[in-house]
Amino acid sequence: MAKILSGKIVSARVKDELKKEVEELSQRGKQTGLAVVLVGDDSASKVYVRNKEKACEEVGIYSEVHRLSENTSEEELLKLINELNENDKIDGILVQLPLPKHLDDKVIIDNIKPEKDVDAFHPSNVGKIMIGDYDFLPCTPAGIMELIHESGVEVDGKTCVVIGRSNIVGKPMSMLLLHENGTVTTCHSHTKNLAEVTKSADILVAAVGIPKFVKADMVKPGAVVIDVGMDRDENGKLCGDVDFNEVEPVAGAITPVPGGVGPMTIAMLMRNTVTASKKKLE
Ligand code: GUN
């Protein structure tokens, strides 16, 4: 039986610690604030944004959510971002992705002040992560590192395989594993003999976006298996990129979906916001 790596439990612990830090900052006269910008009506995004708002309440962070219509222009969105950049009450700015098609993510992210970019998506923050000298870690990979630590398995010297190479998860994930001295392979849709590669992994991270993609015969017995997926199965039920029922008996540790990586991503967003707030006091 695999150890279940509960993001619910670990994220609650992280949020408890952050709550104390937010209180201490407040006693020193520094409130902590996060602005979340949601453009359009994507139903998954609405749920994610609501969860971010709730987490702010739990931790004691002031939050404001700007809900903008689907047909918001680039000019209007950039005007809001510039206002938030200059607003002293706001330490962190998060623009929920995906944006409607007529808006260019890159242009929008480039305009967030790097010191308020709590997603760590701005090119300057991405560059800092590459060289291992960063203020913020990207939320999902950072949350995954916490769960890997929770498994008790040391990354140092281990064979790590990441399936997926997105800018938000796959690429930074590989980098964080490398920072902890893992031997890292990044797989993607052009990878040959995928199962052979994944089967070599002591630590396997699946961020493919295909329901139940990782099967038991792709997993090394005893491996730590991290599931970043938020998919729907053939019956419309929430599931991950890993076939949990098949893989759990083979794995040494595994994250559930839901209740694994998702809550950790939000906890790390809270952590980055507190970091941004603290930096203003320095
Ligand atoms: N959409 C899916 N994941 C994320 C995330 O981590 N940050 C933002 N801003 N949008 C997302």
* pLDDT, position 147: 98
Within a domain: 270:
no
- Regarding whether 56 and 105 lie in a shared domain, the answer is yes
- Regarding whether 251 and 215 lie in a shared domain, the answer is yes
- Regarding whether 155 and 95 lie in a shared domain, the answer is no
- Regarding whether 105 and 151 lie in a shared domain, the answer is no
- Report the Cα–Cα distance between both ends of the chain, in Å, rounded: 47
Phi, psi of 66 (to 5 degrees): -105, 110
Cα 16–chain centre separation? 19
Closest residue by CA, ligand 1 atom 8: 96
143 a known binding residue?
A: no
State the average pLDDT for the chain: 98
Which CATH number fits the domain that encloses residue 213?
A: 3.40.50.720
- Regarding whether 232 and 170 lie in a shared domain, the answer is yes
Within a domain: 230:
yes
The closest alpha carbon to 93, from 166, 16, 34, 161, belongs to 34
Within a domain: 272:
no
pLDDT 10s digits, 21-77: 999 999 999 999 999 999 999 999 999 999 999 999 999 999 999 999 999 999 999
Domain count, the chain: 2
Within a domain: 253:
yes
- Regarding whether 145 and 106 lie in a shared domain, the answer is no
| Residues near 271 by beta carbon (within 8 Å), at least 6 away in sequence | 14, 18, 142
164 a known binding residue?
A: yes
Residues near ligand 1 with C-beta < 6 Å?
94-97, 119, 139-140, 168, 265
- Regarding whether 155 and 82 lie in a shared domain, the answer is no
Within a domain: 96:
yes
Within a domain: 267:
no
- Regarding whether 256 and 166 lie in a shared domain, the answer is yes
* pLDDT, position 282: 85
- Regarding whether 151 and 93 lie in a shared domain, the answer is no
Atom index in ligand 1 nearest the CA of residue 45 equals 1
- Regarding whether 179 and 72 lie in a shared domain, the answer is no
The strand ranges marked E within the chain are 3-4, 33-39, 62-68, 92-95, 159-163, 183-187, 203-206, 224-227, 231-232, 238-239, 253-254
Q: Active-site positions?
A: 52, 96, 119
Tell me, in angstroms, the distance from the centre of ligand 1 to residue 136's CA: 15
- Regarding whether 156 and 99 lie in a shared domain, the answer is no
Atom index in ligand 1 nearest the CA of residue 265 equals 6
Confidence of residue 1 (pLDDT cuts 50, 70, 90): confident
Q: Is the peptide bond before 98 cis (omega within 30 degrees of 0)?
A: yes
Within a domain: 12:
no
Instruction: Please state the pTM of the whole predicted model.
Output: 0.97
28 a known binding residue?
A: no
The last residue of one of the domains, among 75, 98, 113, is: 113
Res. 118: pLDDT tops 90: yes
Which CATH number fits the domain that encloses residue 103?
A: 3.40.50.10860
Within a domain: 3:
no
Report the C-alpha gap between 277 and 282 in whole angstroms: 10
Q: Which helix (H) or strand (E) holds 5?
A: none
Range of the domain at 65: 29-113
Closest residue by CA, ligand 1 atom 2: 97
Q: Are 254 and 136 in contact (CB under 8 A)?
A: no
pLDDT 10s digits, 217-250: 999 999 999 999 999 999 999 999 999 999 999 9
Confidence of residue 280 (pLDDT cuts 50, 70, 90): very high
- Regarding whether 173 and 98 lie in a shared domain, the answer is no
Tell me, in angstroms, the distance from the centre of ligand 1 to residue 36's CA: 11
pLDDT 10s digits, 4-16: 999 999 999 999 9
